[in-house]
Amino acid sequence: MTSKLFTPITLGPHSYANRIAIAPMAQYSAVDGNPTDWHLIHWGTLATSGAGLVMIEATAVEADGRPTAGDIGLYSDDNEAQLARVLASIRAYAPAKFGIQLFHGGRKSSTAIHWLGGQPILPEDGGWPTLAPSAIAFGNGPVPRAAEPADLTRIRAAFANAARRAVKAGFDLIELHAAHGYLLHQFLSPISNRRTDAYGGTLENRLRFPLEVFEAVRDAAPGVTLGVRLTGSDWIDGGITPDEASAFARALKERGCHYVDVSSGALDPSQKVVVGPGYQVAFAEQVKREAGIPVRAVGLIVTPEQAEDIVASGKADLIAIARAALANPRWPWDAAHVLGAKLDIAPQYQRAASGVWPGWAMLSLKAAAE
């Protein structure tokens, strides 16, 4: 039987070799928003993994929108040039399509890198001012400034400008990050959005700014796949529900969005997340059913059999792996071997391919024994 996970899929103007994506994973290793040779190594490794799509880490559209000083940005000519340099170097050797995730940290900006404590950094200590839909702090962080109309105009333009730069840098796909408690998610959720103007209150109003940003990016970046990472649940009473996630996805589809990636949580420390294998897949399944848009599922998708079931059963159209790819950068090789699929492998690595290297049989015996 042919593996559904390893069949191609078309999203907007581009086709992807299979249904496996490498999810964005922050490396906290940028300098002034610029990627470094660490990113060249990291993304290059993932681009030779066999995944059809490699998403680079969340990329800030303003310097003040970076959660940490180590986050990548796409708000300057230098940012654009360095991203283009790294991408061109990898593309010379790897066939994977590349996507970029654009975002603004909002009230979750100006914090220390997590391995340095991850605590908020105040402006007087070298941090930068934060803003949000409403003046409500994230956890023990500083109270952000409530965004004014001029801020919304500037940020919409920043997303559009970053999208134009992404196209020039050579990305195939642009994804807006409207989850994980960042600015667009903050507008979507009634937990963080207490505005009384046209951008707060009803679901229609809370959708308004994220949809305006999507439209600005769509108009600025023709010819690429356009997607949105949204949240299926805030995991908090009174927060975003799967029904609201579906409504957002429907509105995005009407505006030309090609797919959504359904995640959850990270808006507020009071969340009560129930974590387990594929714990967010049900959200993706509901959004796919109710919005009729291609959906990517994420969240503790670890084994090839699990990934195959999600796609083959129609729960989602694609899956994304993150830490599974850090633990095993050749995860798609393993999945192809287990599922009996053919995978294009760089000629430099073909002597280690399944069906060529006899060690695969030994690995399979070891896995069966365990």
CATH no. for 9-343? 3.20.20.70
pLDDT of residue 308: 98
Separation of alpha carbons 63 and 30, rounded Å: 12
Name residues whose C-beta falls within 8 Å of residue 329's C-beta, 6 or more positions apart in sequence: 45, 46, 49
Q: Where are the domains of the chain?
A: 9-343
- DSSP readout, 295-308? EEE-SS--SHHHHH
Q: What is the dihedral of CA 316, 299, 200, 251, to 10 degrees?
A: -10
DSSP state of 12: T
| Positions marked catalytic | 182
pLDDT digits (tens, 9 = 90+) for 294-337: 999 999 999 999 999 999 999 999 999 999 999 999 999 999 99
Bridge partners of 100?
174
Cα 121 to Cα 68, 69, 91, 116, 118: the distances in Å are 9, 10, 37, 11, 9
Contact, 102 vs 74, CB < 8 A? yes
Burial of 347: CB neighbours in 10 Å, binned 0-12, 13-18, 19+: exposed
324: left (phi over 0), alpha (psi -120 to 50) or beta: alpha
Q: Is the dihedral of CA 274, 23, 129, 133 positive or negative?
A: negative
pLDDT of residue 368: 59
pLDDT of residue 2: 86
Name residues whose C-beta falls within 8 Å of residue 362's C-beta, 6 or more positions apart in sequence: none
Contact, 208 vs 259, CB < 8 A? no
14-16/9-11 β-pairing? antiparallel
Instruction: Report yes or no on whether pTM surpasses 0.75.
Output: yes
- DSSP readout, 221-234? -TTSEEEEEEES--
pLDDT of residue 263: 98
Contact, 231 vs 179, CB < 8 A? yes
The secondary structure element, H or E, covering residue 367 is helix 359-369
Query: In a 3-state reduction of DSSP, which class is residue 281?
Result: helix
pLDDT of residue 300: 96
Q: Is the dihedral of CA 56, 62, 64, 69 positive or negative?
A: positive
Separation of alpha carbons 188 and 309, rounded Å: 31
Which residue stretches of the chain have pLDDT < 50? none
